[in-house]
Structures are given as structure tokens and as C-alpha cells.
Structure 1
């Protein structure tokens, strides 16, 4: 079961990183949420619908994808912890390199909760303006 949970979480991270909301959705339980820890403007909870909307927006904001380099993937029961580094070029040509630790809680083989730890200041500086552009175009 641990390997299946690891595989599902890696699939989700790759889908999210590539802006593939369809693939990401297959990994999420009904009522799933993420909680970006920290004090930046992008910190806080995101319900399932917003997770999928953000994933879809990443396709335009981060055309190269995050290109995750997985450092560790550890599973115990229904919990999977992943450390990875992103190495992307944003749509505006700016480099975006951030480090992540995500703690996934699964239920019935799907992701129920993700606690995200990353540099929220860097995300606010580089990602927030692109999100505002995407919102303005809607």
C-alpha cells in the first residue's frame, strides 16, 4: 500500500507541476484540500475546486512546468511526505526555483489533505503577479 500511495502522490505532483488538472483530479478525494503553511499572501487553505483551478492556470503561468526534482518520498500508512525542488521558467521569462516539503494524508487511496511548506515570500513575489494576470483575463 505504501508504494501505491507514493505513486499516487508523485502522479499528483507531476500533474500539478505540468498544469494537468484532469490528471490531478483523479488523485483527489471529494472534499480534498491543501493548506499552504506560512505567512505569505498565497498561504492558507485551498478547497478541491481551487486546487484544480490553480493547476489549470499553471499551464499558462509556468509553461515549462515546475520540473520537480524529487529528493525524498517517504510513506507510512496513509501519510506520504515528499521533498522536492522546482526548477521552472515562468511565462514572463523569470526563473522560479523553490523548495517544497509536502505532507499528504490519503483516504481510500486518494489525497484528502496536503500540508505544503515552501518559500511563500518567493511565491508571492513571482507567482502572485501571474495569478493576478490570469484572473484579470477571465
Structure 2
């Protein structure tokens, strides 16, 4: 069954309100998530736990108040959604981390099973260069 734009917006409401757990409840445990680019968050993650550890957990160490992700545009066809987002955040050193993202999401049975994520690699690299993660 095809997903709808309204359903995808509802799934992403958790990220917009800062409730990551609500969003990740709609992501398969064995999600295949690729973060494109050449920066500390880039990689091919084969599970929800690996993705969270490799991205959100790292960001949490350099963005003390987290990041707010807001959906800007959405395109849905069959079981795929292309979601454009932007973030509003401030790093430990005061650097603004207002990044832009494009996530190409595949849904199966109303759950996200695959994602290809694109973002500003240079901004992510600068974020981690200027805000080293504490051990």
C-alpha cells in the first residue's frame, strides 16, 4: 500500500518537536541508512542503533541543545518519500549549525526501511573541527 504525504509528515513530526524516539518508532531496526559525503557523520549504517550512534549521538556531544529538524518540502510516490529538511542549532563554541538535508526514504508496511541522506558536508566537517567531541 502506498504511503501518503500526510502520513510522512506525521512520521517526521517527532523530529520537528525534538522527540527523536517518536520518529525512530517508525524506522525499522534493520534500516539500511546511507549518509552521503566525506565528514564525521558519513557512512553506511545497517541498523537503527548504528545510525543513531554514528550520527545523533555524535551531534549530541557538540550541539548541547540538540538540533531541531523542520520539514521544508515533501514529495511522495508509491512507497518512497523525498524529504527536504533544515536544522536550527548552535554548537558548543557558538557556531550556528543551520544545515540543509535531503532524505530519500523507502517505506515498507508504513516503516522506513531505507534512507539515502544528503547534507552540507563542509558544514559538518567544520562543526566537528571547531567542536572536538569529549571522550
Residue in 1 that maps onto 2:9 = 6
CA contact (8 A) 2:16 2:70 kept: no
RMSD: 2.5
Runs (4+) of structure 1 exceeding 6 A deviation are none
1:24-103 residue pairs with structure 2 within 5 A?
A: 24-47=23-46, 48-53=48-53, 54-103=55-104
Distance (Å, rounded) in 1 between the aligned partners of 2:105 and 2:25: 15
Number of aligned positions between the proteins = 130
Q: If each structure's helix is expressed as a fraction of its own residues, which one has the higher value?
A: 1
Query: How big is the shift at 1:12?
Result: 5.3
Matches within 5 A, 1:86-125: 86-125=87-126
Cα deviation for residue 120 of structure 1 reads 1.1
Q: Residues 100 and 117 of structure 1 are in contact (CA less than 8 Å); yes or no, is this contact kept in structure 2? A: yes
Distance 1:63 1:104 in 2: 28
CA distance in structure 1 between the aligned counterparts of 2:102 and 2:68, rounded to whole angstroms: 15
Q: SS where residue 97 of structure 1 aligns?
A: coil
Query: Structure 1 residues 128, 75: closer, same or farther in 2, change over 3 A?
Result: farther
Q: 1:59 to 1:41 in 2, by over 3 A?
A: closer
Q: Name structure 2 gaps, 5 residues minimum.
A: none
Cα deviation, residue 57, structure 1: 4.8
Q: Which runs of 5+ in 1 are unaligned?
A: none
User: Cα 1:46–1:55, aligned 2, differ >3 Å: closer, same or farther?
Assistant: same
Question: Per the alignment, in what secondary structure is the counterpart of residue 133 of structure 2?
Answer: helix
Is the 2:71–2:85 Cα contact (8 Å) retained in structure 1? yes
SS in 1 for 2:97: strand
Deviation of 1:23 (Å): 2.6
**Residue 21 of structure 1: how far off its partner (Å):** 4.7
Distance 1:104 1:70 in 2: 13
TM-fit CA distance, 1:80: 0.9
